[in-house]
Amino acid sequence: MKWNWEIFFDAFPFVLQGLGITVGLTVTCYLFALLLGFFWTFLRRVPSRPFHWFVTWAMEFIRSTPPLVQLFFIYYAWPMIPGVGVTLSPFASAVLGLGIHFSTYIGEIYRSGIESVDKGQWEAATALNFSTYQKWRKIILPQAVPPVIPMLGNYFIIMFKEVPLASTVGAAGILYMANTYGARNWAYLEPLTIVGIIFLLLSYPSAIFIKKLERKMNTRFDKNTILENSQKGAVL
Amino acid sequence: MLKPIVEYKDVHKSFGEVEVLKGINLDIYPGEKIAVIGPSGSGKTTIIRMLMTLEEPTSGDIYVDGKNLWKMEKNGEMVRANEKHLREIRSDIGMVFQHFNLFPHMTILENCMTAPIHVKKEDKEEVRERSIHMLERVGLGDKLNNYPSQLSGGQKQRVAMARALVMRPKIMLFDEVTSALDPELVGEVLEVIRDLAKHEDMAMVLVTHEMDFALDIADKVLFLDKGIIAEQGTAREVIEQSDNARLQEFLRRFRK
């Protein structure tokens, strides 16, 4: 088998057709996971021991099962369960499957952010008589969220790289398109290489961006950074 | 006859197996300046933390302005207070912490302004003026737009006091406010407290290790030992007339 540029240029536009699905799926899954993550974090804070135990166990279960198995279950097995079974499109199955899987990690990230806020901040907020909602909104979240933004960004990239799993249930992303091209023309080398290149081109710059973000967040309220910013005339 | 603004009635507090407070009875009158002294672990801080609603008493009652702080009436029965009830009473109380607990994501002016605006729904411009005035009073008028990370410990603690004062509490609690400071910064913070004690008519409760200072400004001194108020009275009574051996030993060790 030899590298053939003709096939490469023929396959490129074909594979690229799947990019919309790949990116769209990544973004949708991610937003879903971000939202669901809040839900986990909130559930774990409910002050009931059996409930807390149940939620922790459920998260653990979801995390220790491969996302591919979950995806297959949602796509193939769930419709067969009498009464509650629903047939979902490949796209919806992928959003649900990957979204739920990653939401457990995202929920942990939120939790680490919240726990990183000093206990004294809660006490000061209580002493100033903030309501529970105001405490979260004005005091805790503004301190809990920025430090975990880079971590959340990392999960975006990780998710982007997991999204090709959805091709196994027929979501027509770039991997699916490459496979289809390969099957039709009996040429896999070039289209799969294209898939690799596209992933590299998208995730590498994102990773660099997140590194930068991380540095910025870490020094946010640092004495010197504030000084620098004020000299530049920037408003924090 | 003046009525107390705060009353502790046989208040007990345990942390797990350990009973830290073993029956506290205490009246605080409007405008009164009280110093709470005693060995570490004697439960001094816990006394004021219960009033600030940061700890719940194990038994006993605390009344603020005649209202039971930790219990409320529901269907003719006294039940555990909910957050709404606590919030209502808490508005009379302010607190300054050992570790300042300033909000790091806000400038010091914002630190002062946030609660009056969002909690008390006061006019923003009026709050701004009052906050600036208060920060000037504690000597930080030139730092309004700085962030807490840019300040020294003493400056942070002065901001924390201004922040509590802007809320206009009737009772102000000071929890070992100089203990986390470098020795050379203690003086500036004590000066502010002395100024407040002299010119403000709110009640003040100071938990402190600065013995001479406490004895100097307090109307009433409480000596807490092993979970009870072992001795109380004016500074003079406590120092000169008490024959409590543990208190005398404690004073010998802590007074300069």
pLDDT digits (tens, 9 = 90+) for B19-77: 999 999 999 999 999 999 988 888 899 999 999 999 999 999 999 999 999 999 898 88
| Claim to verify: residue B198 and residue B122 sit in the same structural domain | no
Q: Looking at the partner chain, which of B53, B97, B105 has a beta carbon nearest the beta carbon of A124?
A: B97
How close B143 comes to chain A (CA, Å)? 13
Please enumerate residues of A whose Cβ is less than 8 A from a Cβ of B: 118, 120-121, 123-124, 126-132, 134, 138-139, 142-143, 221-223, 226-227
Q: Is residue B97 part of a domain?
A: no
Strand partners, B28: B6
Give the pLDDT of residue B70: 95
- B16 with B133, same domain? no
Number of domains in chain B: 2
Q: What is the 3-state secondary structure (H, E, C) of B44-81?
A: HHHHHHHHCCCCCCCEEEEEECCEECCEEEECCEEEEC
B83 and B184: one domain?
A: yes
**Planar angle of CA A44, A132, B109, nearest 5 degrees:** 125
Query: Is B152 part of a structural domain of the chain?
Result: yes
Instruction: Render each residue's pLDDT in chain A as its tens digit; 236 residues.
Output: 789 999 999 999 999 999 999 999 999 999 999 999 999 998 988 888 899 999 999 999 999 999 999 999 999 999 999 888 889 999 999 999 999 999 999 999 999 999 999 999 999 999 999 999 999 999 999 999 888 999 999 999 999 999 999 999 989 999 999 999 999 999 999 999 999 999 999 999 999 998 888 888 877 766 666 666 655 554 44
Tell if the CB–CB gap between B105 and A221 is shorter than 8 Å.
yes
Cα gap B148→B103, rounded to integer Å: 8
Domain with B123 in it: 103-168
Chain A residues in contact with B52 (beta carbon < 8 A) = 123, 126-127
My answer on whether B159 and B183 are in the same domain is no
pLDDT bin (cut points 50, 70, 90) of residue B228 is: very high
**Once rounded to an integer, what is the mean pLDDT over residues B105-110?**
95
State the best of A117, A118, A128 to mutate against chain B, taking most chain B CBs within 10 Å. A128
Instruction: Mark whether B161 and B179 lie in a shared domain.
Output: no
Residues B109 and B225 in one domain: no
Q: Which CATH number characterizes residue B41's domain?
A: 3.40.50.300
Q: Given an 8 Å threshold on Cβ–Cβ distance, is A128 in contact with B105?
A: no
Q: What is the ipTM of this complex?
A: 0.93
- Residue A233 in tokens: 């005339």
pLDDT for the residue numbered A234: 47
Query: Within a domain: residue B98?
Result: no
Q: Which range (A157-161, B27-31, B123-127, B236-240) has the least confidence?
A: B236-240
pLDDT of residue B239: 78
Last residue of one domain, picked from the residues B112, B137, B168: B168
Residues B87, B204 share a domain = yes
Q: Which of B146, B168, B190 is the last residue of a domain?
A: B168
CA distance A129 to chain B (A): 6
| Fold of the CATH domain A5-232 | MetI-like fold (1.10.3720)
**What pLDDT does residue A224 have?**
62
Do residue B122 and residue B209 come from a single domain?
A: no
H-helix segments, A17-163:
19-44, 49-64, 67-72, 90-115, 119-127, 132-134, 141-162
Average confidence (pLDDT) over B160-176: 96
Angstroms from A134 CA to nearest CA on chain B: 8
Chain B residue numbers with beta carbons less than 8 Å from the beta carbon of A221 are 104-105, 147-149
Chain B residues with CB inside 8 Å of A233's CB?
A: none
Rounded to 5 degrees, φ, ψ at B76 are 75, 5
Q: In this predicted structure, what is the pLDDT of residue A217?
A: 80
Which pLDDT score, from 0 to 100, does residue A68 have? 95
Domain ranges of chain A: 5-232
Q: Chain A contact for B239, CB < 8 A?
A: no
Intra-chain end-to-end CA distance of chain B, in Å:
38
Q: Do A221 and B102 touch (CB under 8 A)?
A: no
Residue A231: its pLDDT value, please? 59
Report yes or no: B38 at the A interface, CB cutoff 8 Å. no
Tell whether B180 and B125 lie within a shared domain. Answer: no
| B244 pLDDT above the threshold of 90 | no
Residue in B with minimal Cα distance to A139: B103
Nearest-CA distance B237 → chain A (Å): 33
* Residue that terminates a domain, selected from B126, B151, B168: B168
B152 CB within 8 Å of a chain A CB = no
Residue of chain B with shortest Cα separation from A122: B101
My answer on whether B176 and B243 are in the same domain is: yes
Q: Residue B218: inside a domain, yes or no?
A: yes
The pLDDT score that the predictor gives to residue A66 is: 95
